[in-house]
Chain A
């Protein structure tokens, strides 16, 4: 590199010649920088000229073919009171000059050199020749200054210029500081508020409203991705027109996908600036055409919990790095608050559900008859164990006379308070209609009609079984509303019958008809009414008890002459053994009569 004596033109000039090598550029730039400083050019302006020149030289060197590398690159810098001119001369084939230069796609690794030159220098001309090309870059000086070094120094103009420079820097710093301050103070304020606020939805709205104020943006849309779902649902928006439809997150995205989805899937900010980056059918483009802005995926830890979109009309605001940083900080803070609020809500729901279950359990327990009626010549025993805190199972024994009784067992499909309420109603209805007990099918039909509207309204149904036991005639009349069969032993425990009269569950068909079956009740007979939790009980090997095994056990009880009470203990022990240490996953209820 050689430094040629400056040729005085209007103002001062510096001429340099450097070898066609990238490593030569920086030392040359240092000389140019010193020259500009010497001419009274401010730091910021000199740095920008230096960069423009660097891009011009790099371009020339990178375009040079191997045969042209021996030719130097010339630099001429001219500086007068009003203007700085940078001129490079190279001997490469040159390139097609375009009057307008745009930025390449964000992930492109090159193609920004000309954009920088254009942006930093006011006027740029490219003269392409057969053996040499010349790039002339000019910009007006930030402030006209005396050109002669002698006249500079501690003059008022010089001080004013420096003041102007410092003002630029202070303004930039102030902007950043105020952004940091505003976000910090907002966060402290909201942090304190969110703990007190009962209505959590209002708090993020205020926070996001303030975010608009700080960033100078005009609108926002905040979407959330609820846990376990794949839909981005609008949680808050700055105006009603932006309460957009939920967006489904697909397996993969393409450039036509909505920008909010792209940002969430790629876990990266997605910008729509210029507005053309927003596909025309994008919900944001339809709601706010021509806007610019960005979509920021909101994280909680590593998980994307939503998106925050901030936008404005072109020219309204410029989202600088400091502002983007504020958006990120607000979004992070909001994510923490939202997740905390969700936890709080879940804990509250858990308490409410717990309370509801407690009430329902209380209702259900009150249904179970405390002491079973005594009848001559027979013994009765019942058992009811709920899988969860509350199940829909219950049994009842209604004494009708000294020699007759109505046995009932039922399974309400549902849980919680509604199931418990229907169990209460069913029990009361059957007890109220007890005079019909000798005709249990008719009784079921009546109960079905009475309960049908209420049951179908909440889409619930009930299975039930009634057995009218008449000891005077030693017979039983059985009717069933879609319930498990009744099992009874015969011939002193050597045989058995499965009684399963036809009938739909209660609440399925308004005019359902029920059949009856009359069964002789032999001496030593054992009768079992049960719910499917008994036959479906699984042991640790996944084997179920099943109806056959239950029948064998019932026969054995008859053969051994075991009382209803003893048989209950046997079956409970068997069920417990099956269950082992596992949690009960179905209600288990049965009623035994030993004849």
Chain B
């Protein structure tokens, strides 16, 4: 499972890269996830929008990947927006106070 291909979908809307289909962000796939998004983040993109509605598991490595992307976005005066995280994921974001870093949107 290490380094397995992430089945995420990427779309560009204006200056935002939209990421969809994230099922989990764990130690096993966090780096691959981060790298896949970084590669897709062309110079004209500055915001990253990640749909977490289908994500059932998020651990500290997954958080690390999100923070790393947050730093990349900030470097471009952009931001990371997390869309509709499910209750267990939202709890972890709040427990680690990550809701202070990311914009969490209910859509």
Contact = CB atoms under 8 A, between A and B. Distances in A.
Interface of A: 21-27, 44, 47, 50-51, 54-55, 58, 61-62, 103, 106-113, 115-116, 119-120, 169, 172, 176, 180, 267-269, 271, 273, 294, 319-321, 324-325, 328
B24 interface: yes
With most chain A CB atoms within 10 A of its CB, the pick from B60, B90, B92, B98 is B60
Chain B interface mostly: helix
Given A58-B61, A110-B60, A112-B63, A44 B27 contact: no
Contact of B59 (A27, A55, A111): A55
B28 A26 contact: yes
Interface string B73-103: 0100100000000011010111111111101
With most chain A CB atoms within 10 A of its CB, the pick from B24, B26, B65, B93 is B26
Nearest to B68: A109
A62 B28 CA distance: 11
B39 interface: no
Given A54-B27, A109-B67, A169 B87 contact: yes
A23 B1 contact: yes
A55 B4 CA distance: 20
A26 B26 contact: yes
Given A44-B87, A107-B101, A110-B61, 4 more contacts: A22-B1, A110-B64, A116-B59, A324-B100
Contacts of A27: 1
Contacts of A172: 87
Contact of A107 (B26, B71, B99): B71
B5 interface: no
Contacts of A328: 103
Contact of B97 (A26, A47, A106, A180): A106
B87 A51 contact: no
B10 interface: no
Given A47-B88, A58-B61, A321 B96 contact: no
Contacts of B96: 103, 112, 115-116
Contact of A116 (B2, B24, B95, B104): B95
Contacts of A269: 100-101
Contact of B106 (A109, A112, A176): A176
Given A109-B64, A110-B64, A324-B100, A51 B28 contact: no
A112 B87 contact: no
20 contacts: A21-B2, A23-B4, A25-B26, A25-B28, A26-B57, A50-B57, A51-B92, A54-B57, A55-B59, A58-B27, A107-B70, A107-B71, A112-B60, A116-B96, A176-B106, A267-B77, A273-B97, A319-B100, A325-B104, A325-B106
A22 B60 contact: no
Given A44-B88, A54-B59, A321 B64 contact: no
Nearest to A120: B95
Contacts of B74: 268
Interface residues of B, number: 37
A26 B27 CA distance: 9
A134 to B, nearest CB: 20
Nearest to B61: A58
B67 A108 contact: yes
B67 A23 contact: no
Given A22-B2, A54-B27, A107-B71, A324 B99 contact: yes
A172 B88 CA distance: 11
Interface string B8-43: 000000000000000010111000000000000000
B2 A23 contact: yes
A107 B67 CA distance: 6
Given A107-B71, A109-B67, A271 B100 contact: yes
B2 A180 contact: no
B50 to A, nearest CB: 15
Contact of A321 (B2, B4, B70, B104): B104
Q: Which 9 A-B pairs have the closest CB atoms?
A: A23-B1, A321-B99, A109-B64, A112-B60, A23-B2, A58-B27, A113-B60, A47-B88, A22-B27
A253 to B, nearest CB: 14
A27 to B, nearest CB: 8
Given A51-B59, A58-B59, A106 B101 contact: yes
Nearest to A169: B87
With most chain B CB atoms within 10 A of its CB, the pick from A27, A58, A172, A294 is A58
With most chain B CB atoms within 10 A of its CB, the pick from A23, A27, A55, A273 is A23
B5 to A, nearest CB: 13
Contacts of A176: 106
B100 A294 contact: yes
A21 to B, nearest CB: 6
Nearest to A270: B100
Nearest to B79: A268
A118 to B, nearest CB: 10
Given A109-B68, A110-B64, A321 B93 contact: yes
A106 B59 contact: no
Contacts of A111: 60
